[in-house]
Structure 1
């Protein structure tokens, strides 16, 4: 039934788990409105024939509708509108909540190409390799203007904005190739800004990763140079440490939990930070990236807004690498004290 409706509506195949949810509510809304519209049309046709004016001076009789009929005319459409809203909100929350254990991929949009970088240092241009049957979270940014990552077969569309990160996720149902388009006009060759999602079987994906050779990491005392628009050399977390040293981040931030000019990076990722405004915010990828590009936007309570902006001083690859490095700084779990027998304290009289 679903395939027949997709064919009738000229929809591409459903290549992701999100596509099934989007199509389900789409079909439900279309079928409901089609049935209601048909009933209204047939009712109007019956009334037109049965109650047509037969004489020039025939008066239309006054009809008083009962209250239950008025309630029916109001209640039934209201019920369907509320039902569609509940279904849409449920799917929206599901689509905006990546599952635990999703594979992260950094996406950089640039006139006119898509660049993909994996946390272990691998990278590709215009071809996103993913395993089928595993959730994949995309962290998107742009180098120049606004772009939009659009996969019609996934029913997925997410804008990529310069200077900040947005995120979305998907899970491919079956191996294959799925076209990626840019859905935001971005310049002369906008229509040529295309890529592909290459979904492989899990074993084939691991074999593809094994065949890839990330660029060698720099030796001791050497600082890698990240060229504009190049893929990050070496594992991104290691590159992030090097970039942080070169940019002077450790002059204000520590990695061992000791207080300093800025908040410590130890355990910072996904930690809730109190702000000077009285609000609390979770230190996710978007917040960490915003703090580099616009540090005065959300200042952590107890710290002075002295951090300079790194907008234009950090490439998207470097910012992503620093975020990956911060992710690795997790405090060791404290060892619980040994259980002790409670001391007897005599009651006071």
Structure 2
């Protein structure tokens, strides 16, 4: 971790200021494009470019299993993780459809899937075959958490070297809402009952059981809330750690990170606790219907671009939000100024004020 933290620079304030002023020369009333204008300024500050570009985007889906699935906290068996990875490779998942639509470079990375995977189409970065059962033992060691962070960093590096200009990190891992909820409770102190949602479809007594498993794990694991790596190692997931690493590396390379839903936001919160300078590089794609997501967003003082009642993961919500980033860059690059278009600027005709 020591080598990445100093590489995350402050936003380019001078560039952001120039773009802020330039926006008011375009053929529109000042501020009339609302949050799109703020998004353009953010992209300028992140990239250091007066006319930032976000195409092509990179979509990286990190896959891993969770030992806590043995506690019956998911509506689906653990074998679904490997089956969905095969679906990603075959191009049949939602994130495949959305990635094709936005022209993304898509990569699937195995950082800890427990079952056999397709021989081709998956980047092999497996740290171990699933985490430990956090209800009975630490999810992983600190070294394993760091190894997963490093795997995420390498994925972002590959994307940058391939010419990608924006990063979307997605995940697949049965029971990862359990791990994410436990981490969020540890990092924020919010009661578990306010954070835990249905995940893959858990309801009724099963949802009560899921809360009880998390509360017991928090008591037994006793993570240090002031040590985000400790929280990650004791309660987290290999794919969560990898997403955190991907955000850190992307920011070091001045690439905007478009954050997906609940699990991706918990990964982002963890990464920001490790490196607070990361926060301005994060753009939040959507608000999930998982109840914990609102708390994770609040902890990051984040307002997402979309709210469409999604809860799929995979990076799907971020991919849906990506065209708004493209619109912000097109606004800067393609709109005419008042002078160029021969349109009167209102400010030139305002009466002087006494």
TM-score of the pair, normalised by structure 1: 0.23
TM-score of the pair, normalised by structure 2: 0.23
**Structure with greater contact order relative to length (CA < 8 Å, sep ≥ 6):** 2
Rg larger in 1 or in 2? 1
